[in-house]
Amino acid sequence: GDSVTQMEGPVTLSEEAFLTINCTYTATGYPSLFWYVQYPGEGLQLLLKATKADDKGSNKGFEATYRKETTSFHLEKGSVQVSDSAVYFCALSEMPNAGKSTFGDGTTLTVKP
Amino acid sequence: GAVVSQHPSRVICKSGTSVKIECRSLDFQATTMFWYRQFPKKSLMLMATSNEGSKATYEQGVEKDKFLINHASLTLSTLTVTSAHPEDSSFYICSAQAGGSTGELFFGEGSRLTVL
């Protein structure tokens, strides 16, 4: 079955530091890949997505590139802010059951001023 | 983007009572919604897939008589935790997929259930 493995946390960085959260996946077909973010006490929000190999998803300074050869979708940001402190989830979905996503365990990021 | 609203955001109840949580898609129709449970510092555990007009599909290990799901319309799914006990205390989240999307999910704000 499908699975998503993401970097264990927690991750603690100083403001303006570079962020990488690793994510690798296994899937039987050609999944779409997502990063979701969860702020404390809230539901998840879509951060970015990529639907095919070599696509780069980007939003709010975050980027991730769909790498089929390494089955990876690592999340990066060049300069984090305190407001980026949250839990980040890597996920995939495959047709025909596109809505039934598989999630990683989540990585907690804390950014200190 | 599509908006999913969940209510209530927090609920405290006594052991043995039932609690209903609503999940609404505000600006799109959702034939399928998903219900998750999230334990502290853990990922989301898919509980069931809610299908409009038909029975929900439950994941293995989830008690369907304990967690009743009703999807009566294209914009509303409800989760009822019946005869709640302290071990049912958790953060419950719903999600829906908008038509024509590429698989991304739109999540409700979550509901924190505390059973005393």
Would you give per-residue pLDDT tens digits along chain A (113 residues)? Answer: 889 999 888 999 999 999 999 999 999 888 999 999 999 888 899 999 999 999 999 999 999 999 999 999 999 999 999 999 999 999 998 865 656 788 999 999 999 99
Coil/strand/helix, residue B40: coil
Query: What residues in B contact A107, CB-CB < 8 Å?
Result: none
Angle made by CA atoms A48, B22, B107, in degrees to the nearest 5: 5
Query: What residues in B contact A42, CB-CB < 8 Å?
Result: 109-110
Is any Cβ of chain A less than 8 angstroms from the Cβ of B92?
A: no
Give the model's pLDDT for residue B19. Answer: 97
Give the model's pLDDT for residue A99. Answer: 66
Contact A101 B105 (CB under 8 A): yes
Is any Cβ of chain B less than 8 angstroms from the Cβ of A29?
A: no
Contact B43 A103 (CB under 8 A): yes
Residues of chain B with pLDDT > 90, as a percent, come to 67
Q: Which of B10, B8, B20 lies closest to B79, judged by CA? A: B20
Strand B111-115 and strand B10-13: the pairing is parallel
Each residue's pLDDT tens digit, B62-111: 999 999 999 888 899 999 999 999 999 999 999 998 766 667 889 999 99
Each residue's pLDDT tens digit, B10-63: 999 999 999 999 999 998 888 889 999 998 777 888 999 988 888 899 999 999
Contact A99 B44 (CB under 8 A): no
Q: How many CB pairs under 8 A join A and B?
A: 69
Query: What residues in B contact A46, CB-CB < 8 Å?
Result: 1, 104-106
Alpha-carbon gap, residue A84 to A37, rounded angstroms: 9
Give the model's pLDDT for residue B52. Answer: 84
Hey, what are A79's tokens? 């300069």
Alpha-carbon gap, residue A85 to A100, rounded angstroms: 27
